[in-house]
Structure 1
Amino acid sequence: MPLPLGFTGARLDRADQLRTDAEAFAAATADPRATCLTLDGIDFVPGASGGLLWEPLDPADERALMLLGIDDAGAPRFVREAAGARVDARSRTVMRMLPLLSAEEAALYGGARSLVDWHARHRFCAACGSPTELFRGGWGRRCGGCNAEHFPRVDPVVIMLAEFEGRVLVGRQGGFPPGFFSALAGFVEPGESLEEAVARELFEEAGIHVTDVAYVASQPWPFPSSLMIGCRAVATGAALTLDTTEIEAAMWVDRTEVRAALAGDMGAPFMAPPSLAIARYLLEDWAA
């Protein structure tokens, strides 16, 4: 990969050793170089130059601190739990602001966003219903009732291009902007491998059978906390049978058409995914 995928490439030491060392964690919070990422709920607040806004730790703010890591200069970076009990994980305001961020800032923000959102949705124990509290420097919650430990979850999602005789399959959901098509995707279900998930999703959504599933690349996707696992597969035929509850339309496109879409040509048969999305990388990789 010549360039990191969106939401990857953060040059931050996650400093796992500090998460379980109370004295070291306290020393990090007392470090005069320590800063905290300013969020509005889980959306970032642009700084004066348009990037992320990092501010000194406010001793009057009683919200729990979560350690994101240590930057290249040795300064601790934190984020605080969200104020209040609810967070809008589906906020789309941030999508319009993401172009303000550098690749590294987007990666830092994506990790912080997913972490803060997870804490907001796990204030009570899934085992007994008792309130939970932060531990491990913000990378876990412990139940005060049954002492169960809970850790931030990541939901695996396969996203794939099926290829047949020099063309790849792209599709669109009803909520997509007009003309926008992307790679097909779906959550991995319990009891199946990534290869099985790719084959199942393509059959369920488009009615095609595939072979030769191959991994291409992966990407964290903080909306709210998925790991997008990019793959390719070879279809055994071109006939489509769409599940219209999932896919509004789908079509096979060749390399010339994909390249036109990636270039933003007015005559292209579809609008390509944005640069932050792994779907665009999959199309660029295939077109090249």
Structure 2
Amino acid sequence: MKRAEQVTFGGSALNRAAEIRGDEAALAAAMAHPDAACLLLWRGKVLMHGEHFERLSWIMMAHPLIKAGPGGDVAFPIFLGFEDDGAPCFALDISKWEPAGQDLSSVGAFVDRSEQQHPDIAPGHVFVELRRIMTRLSPRDAELLATAKAVMSWHKTHKFCACCGAKSEMVQAGWQRSCPECGGQHFPRTDPVVIMLITHGNSVLMGRSPGWPEGMYSLLAGFVEPGETLEAAVRREVMEEAGVPVGQVSYLASQPWPFPASLMFGCAGEALSRDITIDPVEIEHAMWMTKEEMLQAFAGEHPTVLPARKGAIAHFLLENWLADTLD
């Protein structure tokens, strides 16, 4: 698909400089660089500024918040790479900060429109939910935030060695955890997920999960199992969730999805039947929508269906399907 990397979080050719992650001298020089800066995360939210929170807030390495050391589930700032101008980029989690008198009721909810202002950061630079602002980001900021958020999430849930259970330590500039007891080495994981544009003639298969906002539908999706190809995962997931057999399957595009750490493989599949039998444990409802109905939904004029979330690969695939640009 020629437009594959235009999807949100599609990449920006960031120089990740993996070769210096184990080089203490090079990392120290990067942290001491006069233009070195750090992005901050707090309980999964990201520090942003701008009229519509479209700009990433960078904190210089000399800032007291950085100098104070770990404020979350990481022991030191994670090295992300170098900007095109050579400026080193880092990320730090400060989730131990407890906002006093600020709105925390929706933090972690499916929809979080709250904003948290840290007292040591300039007004207007606030923590916001990444889903809320992801379509406003430049490709570089999107890649940096997706990377930082996914790696931070991994550290939060992988503090102990999977081999012996001992507490592990961050090494390799945050890109590895090492066990001091048994020597086990652990690396950030990415969960492969297939998301399927399943069509039958002029219609596409749409479904919704329990607990989604009213009217929200999307393409079917599911995790790839061990020993499974993408094509097999597409056929299995569609059959499990909607009871629809799928024939030919082709790959379209991928999207890093840092909620918490997945890689979405967008695929196209041809349904062999229109009969739907849902698994109510998997999904709440599924249905076929024609191109005309989907155009109506994208225009916000459908009586019952909302358009797919902007920024998600489902929206990207449906948009290109409607425009006949799945080339």
Determine if the TM-score, normalized by the shorter chain, exceeds 0.5: yes
Aligned-residue CA RMSD (Å): 2.1
Deviations 1:32-57 (A, max 9, x none): 11000022232112225522211111
Match of 1:52 in 2: 56
Match of 1:65 in 2: 77
Structure 1 residue 225 displacement after superposition: 0.2
Match of 1:151 in 2: 187
Q: State the SS of the aligned residue for 2:67.
A: coil
Match of 1:74 in 2: 86
Deviations 1:187-214 (A, max 9, x none): 0111211111100000000001111011
Matches within 5 A, 1:181-220: 181-220=217-256
Structure 1 residue 12 displacement after superposition: 2.1
- Higher alpha-carbon deviation: 226-235 or 55-64: 55-64
Number of equivalenced pairs: 285
Match of 1:115 in 2: 151
Q: State the SS of the aligned residue for 2:48.
A: coil
- Choose the corresponding residue for 2:307, options 244, 257, 272: 272
In structure 2, give the amino acid aligned to 1:167: S
Match of 1:282 in 2: 317
Structure 1 residue 267 displacement after superposition: 3.2
In structure 2, give the amino acid aligned to 1:267: H
- Choose the corresponding residue for 2:14, options 5, 12, 15: 12
Q: How many Å separate the matches in 1 of 2:274 and 2:192?
A: 27
Match of 2:168 in 1: 132
Match of 2:293 in 1: 257
In structure 2, give the amino acid aligned to 1:47: H
Q: State the SS of the aligned residue for 1:116.
A: helix
Q: State the SS of the aligned residue for 1:38.
A: strand
In structure 1, give the amino acid aligned to 2:9: F
Q: How many Å separate the matches in 1 of 2:200 and 2:164?
A: 50
Structure 1 residue 176 displacement after superposition: 1.5
Structure 1 residue 157 displacement after superposition: 0.4
Residue 215 to residue 48, structure 1, CA distance change in 2 (3 Å): closer
| Identity across matched positions, percent | 42
- 8 Å CA contact 1:204–1:243 kept in 2: the answer is yes
Q: Which runs of 4+ in 1 moved over 6 A?
A: none
Residue 11 to residue 249, structure 1, CA distance change in 2 (3 Å): same
Q: State the SS of the aligned residue for 2:10.
A: coil
Match of 1:31 in 2: 33
Q: State the SS of the aligned residue for 1:275.
A: coil
Structure 1 residue 13 displacement after superposition: 0.7
Deviations 1:92-119 (A, max 9, x none): 4313344553443233211111111111
Residue 90 to residue 190, structure 1, CA distance change in 2 (3 Å): farther
In structure 1, give the amino acid aligned to 2:310: S
Q: How many Å separate the matches in 1 of 2:304 and 2:204?
A: 13
In structure 1, give the amino acid aligned to 2:233: A
Q: How many Å separate the matches in 1 of 2:177 and 2:133?
A: 31
- 8 Å CA contact 1:257–1:269 kept in 2: the answer is no
Residue 54 to residue 11, structure 1, CA distance change in 2 (3 Å): farther
Match of 2:210 in 1: 174
In structure 1, give the amino acid aligned to 2:285: A
Q: State the SS of the aligned residue for 1:286.
A: helix
In structure 1, the gaps of 5 or more residues are none
Match of 1:43 in 2: 45
- 8 Å CA contact 2:40–2:93 kept in 1: the answer is no
